[in-house]
Amino acid sequence: MKSTVEEIRQRFDNDVERFSNLEAGHAAAVDSPLIMDLITRAAAACTPHAADLLDIGCGAGNYALKMLECVPNLNVSLLDLSQPMLERAAQRVGAVTSGRVVTHQADIRDLELGDGQFDIILAAAVFHHLRAGEEWRAVFAKCLRALRPGGSLWISDMVEHGHPPIQSLMKSRYGEYLSAQKGDEYRETVFAYIEKEDTPRPLLFQVDLLREVGFSTVEILHKNSVFAAFGGMRGG
């Protein structure tokens, strides 16, 4: 059985400090600082006059902070399961923007986002907690509706591979990365919570689904091992 939403929330409640390093990003994710830079620069390039940002699974606010370096003084809506994460993110983000900062402690599957509310949506290391295919479709469609014409959704996340030999190869490469970071015990710890918590989908599944729900353009920015950065734009 995979972790429940409540179990995931409890783990992140106790992990705020690990997700508060803007320079290092998410240490367990391959190329985390590069991906954060690529996604925020791509969002700024596509929507340079953005006013409203939604950060889904905001954690301690790293992606929102990086986005504000590219497009200053955005209104920022922060969404996360964890109240301690939201409090840290709001504190950090509020210190660097003159725009409004709003927090939502909720699951993206349950929260009503409205129509045409945001210019940019970021979703970093969060959608791999979605389960059935219907949930993925519903969340992607919800994000599309929440964007204004010309807005964009940018995702960085763990992905799996549909062909077992390739999945085995990429998992092995990821294991080597984790061991090089903090040793074999760290690798096994990360693998254990991935097995317990996560249900990632292939990159191409997600790219196809973005198109199917109505994103007019989809771009892949980066792919390394079991992590990818990509996004979709709503037509104007």
pLDDT digit string, tens, across residues 154-166: 999 999 999 999 9
> What pLDDT is attached to residue 2?
83
- Kindly state the average pLDDT of the residues 77-100: 96
> What pLDDT is attached to residue 11?
80
- Kindly state the average pLDDT of the residues 20-37: 80
In whole angstroms, what is the distance from residue 150 CA to residue 216 CA? 10
- Kindly state the average pLDDT of the residues 68-93: 96
Superfamily of domain 5-161+199-233: Vaccinia Virus protein VP39 (3.40.50.150)
pLDDT range class, residue 20, cuts 50, 70, 90: low
- Kindly state the average pLDDT of the residues 48-56: 97
- Kindly state the average pLDDT of the residues 26-55: 94
> What pLDDT is attached to residue 9?
81
| Structure tokens, 22 | 């803007």
pLDDT in tens, 148-200: 999 999 999 999 999 999 999 999 999 999 999 999 999 999 999 899 999 99
Residue 45 exposed, middle or buried by CB count within 10 Å (0-12, 13-18, 19+): exposed
Specify which of 14-18, 195-199, 210-214 reaches the highest per-range mean pLDDT: 210-214
Mean pLDDT, the chain, rounded, equals 93
> Is pLDDT of 22 > 70?
no
In whole angstroms, what is the distance from residue 200 CA to residue 183 CA? 24
Distances (CA, A) of 135 to 58, 109, 127, 144: 19, 7, 10, 14
> What pLDDT is attached to residue 19?
65
> What pLDDT is attached to residue 28?
83
In whole angstroms, what is the distance from residue 51 CA to residue 226 CA? 32
> Is pLDDT of 25 > 70?
no
Residue 197 exposed, middle or buried by CB count within 10 Å (0-12, 13-18, 19+): middle
Name which of 165, 56, 69, 73 is nearest 113 in CA terms.
56
Where are any strands of DSSP class E within the chain? 52-56, 75-80, 101-105, 118-124, 147-158, 217-224, 227-233
Among 7-16, 21-30, 128-137, name the one with the lowest average pLDDT.
21-30
Task: Please give the single-letter amino acid code of residue 38.
Answer: L
